[in-house]
Amino acid sequence: MNPAYPFSAVVGLDDLKLALVLNAVSPRAGGVLVRGEKGTAKSTIVRALAAQLPPVAVVAGCRFHCDPAAPDPGCPDGPHEPDAAWVRRPASLVELPVGASEDRLAGSLDLERALTEGVKAFEPGLLAAAHRGVLYVDEVNLLHDHLVDLLLDAAALGVCYVERETVSVRHAARFLLVGTMNPEEGELRPQLLDRFGLTVEVRATREPGERAEVVRRRFAFDADPEGFAARWAPEEAALAERIARARAALPAVRLPDARLRQITAVCAGFEVDGLRADLVTAHAAVAHAAWQGRDVVTREDVRVAARLALPHRRRRDPFDAPGLDERLLDDLLDQTEPGGPDGPDDPEDPEDREGPGRPEGPDDPGGAQSDGSRPDGPAASSHEISGEGGGAASDAPPGDGTGPTPRSGDAAPRDSAPEEVAAVGTPFRVPVLRVAGVGEGAAGRRSSGRGRHGRAIGTRLPGGTGPRAIDLPATLLAAAPHQVLRGRRGPGLVLRRDDLREPVREGREGNLVLFVVDASGSMGARRRMTAVKTAVLSLLLDAYQRRDKVGLVVFRGRGATVALPPTSSVEAGAARLRALPTGGRTPLAEGLATAAEVLRVERMRDPDRRPLLVVVTDGRATSGGDVTRAATALAGVTSVVVDCESGPVRLGLAGALALRLGARVLPLESLGDLVPKRRKAG
């Protein structure tokens, strides 16, 4: 499917090919989410998929790509006659940009025709264009939540409902949904993650020979693109033909009741929430059986489907990385095997008594071992996704988030004081910290902000780049008084640019939450540092829920370092926090100065995102520069000081720092108690 990238060169690419193929065979598998580091051919292989899909017949002139054999009875361009003219065209690949609007995705009133001709007409969106094809969302984790909700609802229902400016339309929207993301740039919310049917994690191989082969093939493609494509054309044609055969055979594949109970037992054994996992696993198992040429679902089909459908549904904490314990999967399959000690008998499943399905050939992207055995060695970790040649564990340390492993240079300079790494407790709810005023940053859930989303509070003239959205009633009211003077002679309005009005909406924005954490020896009492880490982790969890960017500055020893540059990956912040050592002197001024520099650089990169500074310290400064001067550089930044001073005698140094910063003070020990408690009934 993607000859420029040998499958051995990217760990997990076999699984990715299989997941895409299963969705091509049966879109009811629910789409594919591809997680992986940058430069692993995620986008390339997804774009190559459309070329392998069988061509589709569409009604000529239908903007919604109706099938002439079974046209949509509610098609806005219909009704279509049984003998309507039709054409055959390749399956479409539609890409949804991260910055797309809701109208661009779902469709809207055709404003040009409404204002110039007086005709109420519907302009289709990208969901209509993707019908019976592929809808691809690159960097899906950066897409606004309301857009993700909309497209996932359409993918689940197979129908797009549009209610816009007096337009009420429904049309078919059945497509293969594929999203790609780099976890370092932030995670999807768990409830949105669950809406993707299958998930695959990929990463580049560390084997020099395999990486060299990728470079050779890329050079060959650049030198002769047509010749390179012709060389692989027979294999691609065979793959497309096999997909078409599997699609045709899909309705005849049986899912025995014993296999269905096995699927539900596996989902229950992994303690996944809801029933979507059971449905997706069943559809994927049926699709895999059709792909393998079988007419009945076997144990191997269930195993392959569970490996792809369950890893991302096992997260119990937002900082958990998706993963699947394959040893537990095999144990659950053994326990529920028909005819086994705990499994029901299934006399209608003869293939299972003979063993799993036939072995797969070298051109088969099945990805799973035909005997259902596990790879040699220890049980797969939560970060491992096995491919056809055996999986390999991720480079991320077990138990950490998906962020990169801290390098030795990330830690603050050491001095002679001993270092300790305190544990982290269970996160708790924290008070809502907001930035004062109204901003215009990216949509989120923290501070008040104006943008494309939220409740309309008025209208305004568009800025220099033109209207982001048109407020139709306000535009008509602005144009109406001038129609006679403009010589109107028909049903349409005579409009000018200065008639246009756009809505002013007020909602919530996300902020940049920059944590400045004191990791010096004065904080080094294990019990107190555990409390500090738990509090910061709780604040990180709050930032995750409110769609913030986060950064982490650590000061100790002789200076301060940026342990985590501003990023949307809150998981990376949690991983760095867990590994944070303590010890040494307290260079408070250097920590504040480093924070000021981080905010200065980030203000140039993202000027609309307002910062919230959270300083976690006991206020002591036993080395370094002038704290007052460093605090002056942070004037105007909304700040909070979490006072970590403890003991019966307190010096109030954190409070003095808060006065210099103009910040609110939150005592560490009462941080969780500041959240209002819900009254008990009665």
Alpha-carbon gap, residue 523 to 506, rounded angstroms: 41
- Tokens (6 digits) for 335: 């326990």
Distance, CA of 32 to CA of 16 (rounded, Å):
8
- Give the active site residues: 276
Strand positions, DSSP E, 343-403 = none
Output the CA angle 527-622-553, nearest 5 degrees. 65
Place of tokens 């490996």: 307
Query: What is the rounded CA–CA span in Å between residue 362 and residue 21?
Result: 16
Nearest-angstrom CA–CA distance, 273 and 562: 37
Cβ atoms < 10 Å from Cβ of 213: 16
Could you please report the per-residue DSSP string of 335-350? Answer: HT-TTSSSSPP-TT-H
Measure CA of the first residue to CA of the last residue in the chain; give whole Å. Answer: 64
Q: At what angle do helices 299-309 and 326-335 cross, to 10 degrees?
A: 140
Single-letter amino acid, residue 185: E
Residues 618 and 641 sit within 8 Å (Cβ to Cβ): no
What is the spatial distance between Cα 628 and Cα 620, in angstroms, rounded to a whole number? 13
Distance CA 609, CA 235 (A): 49
Neighbouring residues of 494: CB distance < 8 A, sequence distance ≥ 6: 479, 482, 483, 486, 487, 488
